Amino acid sequence: MKAYVAGVGMTRFEKPETREWQYWDMAREAGGTALADAGISYADVEQVPVGYCFQPSTAGQRAVYELGLTGVPVYNVNNNCATGATALMLARRLVEGGCDCVLALGFEKMRKGALGAGADGGDFATSPVARHYGIMAARHGFEATPPTAQLFGGAAREHMDRYGTTEAQLAAVAAKNHRHSVHNPYAQFRDAYDVDEILAARTVHRPLTKLQCSPTSDGAAAAVVVSERFAEERGLSGLTEIVAQAMATDTPESFASGSCIDVVGQPMSREAARQVYERAGLGIDDVDVVELHDCFSVNELLTYEALGMCPAGESGALVESGATTYGGRWVVNPSGGLISKGHPLGATGLAQAAELVWQLRGEAGRRQVPGARVGLAHNIGLGGAAVVTLLRAA
Amino acid sequence: MKAYVAGVGMTRFEKPETREWQYWDMAREAGGTALADAGISYADVEQVPVGYCFQPSTAGQRAVYELGLTGVPVYNVNNNCATGATALMLARRLVEGGCDCVLALGFEKMRKGALGAGADGGDFATSPVARHYGIMAARHGFEATPPTAQLFGGAAREHMDRYGTTEAQLAAVAAKNHRHSVHNPYAQFRDAYDVDEILAARTVHRPLTKLQCSPTSDGAAAAVVVSERFAEERGLSGLTEIVAQAMATDTPESFASGSCIDVVGQPMSREAARQVYERAGLGIDDVDVVELHDCFSVNELLTYEALGMCPAGESGALVESGATTYGGRWVVNPSGGLISKGHPLGATGLAQAAELVWQLRGEAGRRQVPGARVGLAHNIGLGGAAVVTLLRAA
């Protein structure tokens, strides 16, 4: 049973404490917009997977009750930074298993500095991220900056040492994504910066400067996933097919290699992409537009390699060549990516899906990728999970 | 595609800080036992839904990595006290959607007093339980005892006022379940108490005494759910069919009626049971053994009515009649129930499934229900969700 995205919605992503809202306010806005976009009502929804990390248990119910009290099943899911794509994956699974109409919803009301702690801000000592961090800290003697920045900073230095990647190439990722964000009304930051400005910004963890790191954000995003039968019955238009999707979690090399590049999940991303290409019978050459998980600039480079956009070590040259922006082979992160759009954990994966749906429908306005037919979303979380999703205009 | 439980496992439930263990130790024990019980290895597992409320995001990965690093998808789910059954439901859904072998795992490492706070111990003010509690507190002027005890205590007083239910009838539930627990090596408490002793125990919230309230517990439970095809290929034995399953969430009456009985979820339980009976073509008269969510004694009475074991108001008489213990029409909570067995949120629903699987296989030792063929599990969480599962010996 094929699954289609029939509607998407999201809030603008905001710096925490900018707006007076609770997570259920965000959910109402994003969920209501997605339902209206699909042209259906909440009464049509049969199941609701909800993604978030920082809110209490059953926050999904509290959130969807804003849309209606129909008594349908709610599954609250978390997977750190890959939570949004996990909710989307569950929605697809439910439709493939026989459901007609599922709402995937993701939100996060965050605290400043939350991204640096254990993903739920709580018991870092026993968190999965602490385990990854502990292994690397013992080897590399990390400093008193947020663990995630240390792990990704370590991966960046490793990439520089191993392949000769430069700080300017890392900054080029951020320059591209900030430039894209100028045209995205949903982005937390919409200012363009050149490579020199990005290099001159405060260092968070060497070599990563503040303008190369995703900010802490509030926000929500949602997608309505439907069966072919339901779409036909209701005469729904603007459909996007979920062609293939895969989640990979850690394998022995995540822990055993001693490489920060492995620990932050490049092998998970590679494996998820491999599975998706195999299932779809498509490859990266068939893809026009990519939304990928640039939580830090270095992760965009690592992901180019994991998705097969270039051989290992050549990602720095790839971004500098212009191949991943308008006019190039692909447009990567037309939304501005996590770096400028923001990164509310539960929402990010669904916001990527929303951007791709708009791109594949030709509704992305001044950030439209001309002629986009196939899109790829990549969402990853330490701890960990990488989810890759291939979407195609139906 | 039919789904079968091929193996189950659980740890003994323990008072927090009794054993030196982390959540991943519990998970290894319960998950490893379930795999061995099914006669398969972790390498056969294709997907892993994991239920918990109090541990950090992606704790499911940290836990299942103890069983193996195979890179398979992990979904971390929460639904307050119904979290374990939610993980089981997701496992069944995945098998019905085409998977062959799914491990459902649930665990909780709790803090003392955790059950009284928001389910994750965190931000109670914005938790869904606070919303239910706020409505009732405004109407009834609650006191400084745990919110859940106040809501269920309120429901007990309402039942007494409306139907003439007595404190002795409430205590009879606890007396029955404590008596059953004597033969359950997995139970946190294994002492029998008579009605007078239960009534004489410290009052937690009028009319509920300490011996009528489930304790705070650590523990884990797991179930291997497989497709018919996989079971045949591997020649698996001791299968239990998941005949039907349903989750209901809150409807308008949960908030609007002003009744504590409605707020604690009797309507959700009734609706989930109705759906299950309809899908299975079976009724409560076909059921031999029940594991239901006696978080407080009153909830067992409310659930008798919700499941159709008696008309509304007659549940007090039903327990006193002996109809729900050995020699009666059904045996309810042969495991000792949450009251004596303990209640680690993520594990409870899966521990109920484990008990029923043992009962339906005839492996329950001194607590065996003679000739048990059909079992019903009922797991409910404020916030909220009620999950009802019908199991049958295959």
Q: What is the pLDDT of residue B1?
A: 81
Residue B22: list chain A partners with CB under 8 A: 126
Structure token digits, residue B214: 């489930």
Specify whether the CB–CB gap between B33 and B257 falls below 8 A.
no
Judged by a CB distance cut-off of 8 A, whether residue A247 touches chain B is yes
With 0-12 / 13-18 / 19 or more C-beta atoms within 10 angstroms meaning exposed / middle / buried, residue A43 is: exposed
More confidently predicted of A40 and B122: A40
pLDDT of A28 > 50? The answer is yes
Token pair, residue B210, equals: 């300490």
Residues A69, B252: C-beta atoms closer than 8 Å: yes
Please tell me the pTM assigned to this model.
0.95
Residue B373 and residue B1: Cα distance in Å, rounded? 21
Backbone φ and ψ for B367, nearest 5 degrees, come out as -105, 15
pLDDT (0 to 100) of residue A249? 97
**Integer Cα distance of B234 and B241 in angstroms:** 16
CB neighbours of residue A21 within 10 Å = 18
Looking at beta carbons, which residues of chain A come within 8 Å of B53? 57
How far apart, in Å, are the Cα atoms of A13 and each of A10, A187, A282, A295, B335? 8, 6, 32, 15, 49
Residue B6 three-state SS: strand
Q: Which A positions 15-74 lie with beta carbon below 8 A of chain B? A: 22-23, 53, 55-59, 61-62, 65, 69-74
d(CA B185, CA B165): 33
Q: Residue A186: which of A360, A337, A39, A63 has the closest Cα?
A: A337
Name beta bridge partners: B389.
Answer: B245, B377
Chain A hits for B79, CB-CB cut-off 8 Å, are 57-58, 74-76
C-beta atoms of B128 and A62 within 8 A: yes
Report yes or no: A133 and A150 within 8 Å, Cβ to Cβ.
yes
Q: Confidence band (pLDDT; 50, 70, 90) for A120? A: very low
**Environment class of B196 (CB within 10 Å of its CB; exposed 0-12, middle 13-18, buried 19+):** exposed
pLDDT at site B113 = 59
* Active-site hit among B81, B101, B260, B310: B81
**Span B3-113+215-393 CATH architecture:** 3-Layer(aba) Sandwich (3.40)
- For residue A129, the model assigns a pLDDT of 75
The kind and range of the H/E element at A223 are strand A219-227
Note whether ipTM > 0.85 here: yes
Interval A230-253 mean pLDDT: 96
Query: Of A175, A181, A159, which Cα lies nearest the Cα of A298?
Result: A159
Asked if the bond preceding B384 is cis, omega within 30° of 0, the reply is yes
**How far is it, in rounded angstroms, from Cα B120 to Cα B117?**
8
The answer to whether B57 and B76 have CB atoms below 8 angstroms apart is: yes
B279: which chain A residues are within 8 Å (Cβ-Cβ)?
A: none
Q: Where are the alpha helices (DSSP H) in chain B?
A: 23-38, 59-64, 83-96, 128-140, 147-163, 167-181, 195-200, 228-234, 252-256, 260-263, 266-280, 297-307, 315-320, 337-341, 345-361
- The residue-averaged pLDDT of A105-123 equals 66
Torsion angle in degrees (nearest 10) through CA of A198, A204, A206, A212: -40
| Cross-chain CB nearest to B271 (options A71, A76, A119) | A71
* Predicted confidence (pLDDT) at residue A142 exceeds the cutoff of 70: no
pLDDT score at A333: 98
Query: Given A53, A81, A295, A310, which residue is catalytic?
Result: A81
> Which chain A residue has its CA at the smallest distance from B52's CA?
A57
Q: How many CA atoms lie within 13 A of B337 on its CB side?
A: 31
Q: Do B73 and A247 touch (CB under 8 A)?
A: yes
Nearest 10 degrees: CA dihedral of B72, A273, B86, B210? 70
Residues β-bridged to residue B50: B76, B105
Give SS3 for B12: coil
pLDDT digits (tens, 9 = 90+) for A354-365: 999 999 999 999
pLDDT digits (tens, 9 = 90+) for A271-320: 999 999 999 999 999 999 999 999 999 999 999 999 999 999 999 999 99
Q: Which residue has the tokens 């709790």?
A: B110
Nearest to A93 among B53, B97, B250 (CB): B97
C-alpha dist (Å) from residue B356 to B16, B240, B291, B394: 25, 9, 7, 13
Please give the angle made by the CA atoms of B166, B169 and B174, to the nearest 5 degrees: 135
Q: Are strands B240-248 and B289-291 parallel, antiparallel or unpaired?
A: unpaired
Active site residue B310: no
**What is the chain A residue with the closest CA to B47?**
A247
* Mean pLDDT value across residues A5-29: 96
The mean pLDDT of A178-203, rounded to a whole number, is: 98
Per-residue burial over B163-186, b = 16 or more CB atoms within 10 Å of its CB, e = otherwise: bebebebbbbbbbbbbbbbebbeb
Contact B288, B375 (CB under 8 A): yes
Per-residue pLDDT of chain B (394 residues; tens, 9 = 90+): 899 999 999 999 999 989 999 999 999 999 999 999 999 999 999 999 999 999 999 999 999 999 999 999 999 999 999 999 999 999 999 999 999 999 999 999 987 655 544 444 456 677 777 777 776 766 666 555 678 889 999 999 999 999 999 999 999 999 999 999 999 999 999 999 999 999 999 999 999 999 999 999 999 999 999 999 999 999 999 999 999 999 999 998 888 888 999 999 999 999 999 999 999 999 999 999 999 999 999 999 999 999 999 999 999 999 999 999 999 999 999 999 999 999 999 999 999 999 999 999 999 999 999 999 999 999 999 989 999 999 999 9
Q: Tell me which residues of chain A, numbers 268 to 327, contact chain B at a CB-CB cutoff of 8 Å.
A: 268, 271
User: Region A15-34: what's the mean pLDDT?
Assistant: 95
Nearest beta carbon to residue B385 from set A22, A65, A74:
A74
Residues 368-387 of A with CB under 8 A from B: 381-385
DSSP A115: G
The Cα–Cα gap between A187 and A190 comes to 6
- d(Cα B194, Cα B199) in Å, to the nearest integer? 9
In the 8-state DSSP scheme, what is residue A68?
-
Whether the CB-CB separation of B140 and B393 falls below 8 Å is answered with: no
Least confident of A50-54, A96-100, A146-150: A146-150
| Vertex B149 angle, CA B143 and B150, to 5° | 35
- In sequence order, what are the beta bridge partners of B209? B203
Q: Is B260 a catalytic residue?
A: no
CA angle A342-A345-A350, nearest 5°?
85
Q: If you count residue pairs, one on A and one on B, with CB atoms under 8 Å apart, how many are there?
A: 186
Mean of all residue pLDDT scores within chain A: 94
Q: Which residue of B has its CA nearest to A24?
A: B126
Q: Which of A53, A58, A123 sits opposite B80 (nearest CB)?
A: A58
pLDDT tens digits, one per residue of A339-390 = 999 999 999 999 999 999 999 999 999 999 999 999 999 999 998 999 999 9
For the record, the structure tokens of A236 come out as 């729904």
What lies within 8 Å, CB to CB, of A112 at 6+ separation is: A16, A17, A216
Specify the range with the lowest mean pLDDT, choosing from A153-157, A237-241, B119-123: B119-123
Query: What phi and psi, each to the nearest 5 degrees, are found at residue B219?
Result: 160, 170
Tell me whether B97 touches chain A (CB under 8 Å).
Answer: yes
